[in-house]
Structure 1
């Protein structure tokens, strides 16, 4: 069984009500590494949890649209100094990233949450360099970035309780699943 087949089988079994631990036991050892299988199970959104935390997800999506609007405006301003069409190009490309995250959050993709977390953590040192200037805008920007990162981590944990930091939870060498 390849990755695509495993993903389809996991989705089929989970949607039919089979518990996650039983899905793992059934599909383990059928050609897909246990780590990948555990990730596919843990990253599969539970419809009940998605409905239960719908307001949180909508809040994250709204914040992504706000970020996209700000990125469009800032990109347009920066690009306008380069040339007449560069403003639209840079603004559009800058707005595309938050819009892709909004799409991933809307579709309950664990990978979108993980990518946002990784990108936020990777860009953190660059943001911390600006603290030496002591400007208020730097502090506000850093506070917003930290708040967004914490909130996205919180929502991801509510939707995907079987994911540890970026991988499936493992206790004493065994993958564990809730429910």
Structure 2
């Protein structure tokens, strides 16, 4: 045994060769295996979960943007059609001294059908938007959640208003900007 340890200093000794060519590479293989089999999968799993989480939030933000735009467009179409129908009804009543002809009634009925179609479209868009906003609230802090809740209360109040009392397109676009800011904040 003395001879084994005394020859450690020479490059031809059995101990030197064993340490240099067997022990160090073995330690490296063991450490590398540990990193590759234990640490790397954990890091990769965390990364993939975070990436999927961010992608879900991004999809929700995109849904909110598209659905809010569609909802505003549906409201605008409904209001424009209602204004046209009201204006046209007044014109037809003036022309006919209060008695509408069958063709005038058919024209007003067509306007009423278009308004019903736009109202139904608006309701579908509203439901989709509210669903996306509810999903967005899962990822928001309290301040952002309160903005969403303020919008939902405001929107609920608009459904029951008369045509003259409805907000302008500018008011809708202001809420759209606020909601998009909230959805962008949730991505951070």
TM over 0.5: no
Q: TM-score, normalised by structure 1?
A: 0.31
* Structure number with larger C-alpha Rg: 2
Q: TM-score, normalised by structure 2?
A: 0.30
Task: Give the helix-richer structure, 1 or 2.
Answer: 2
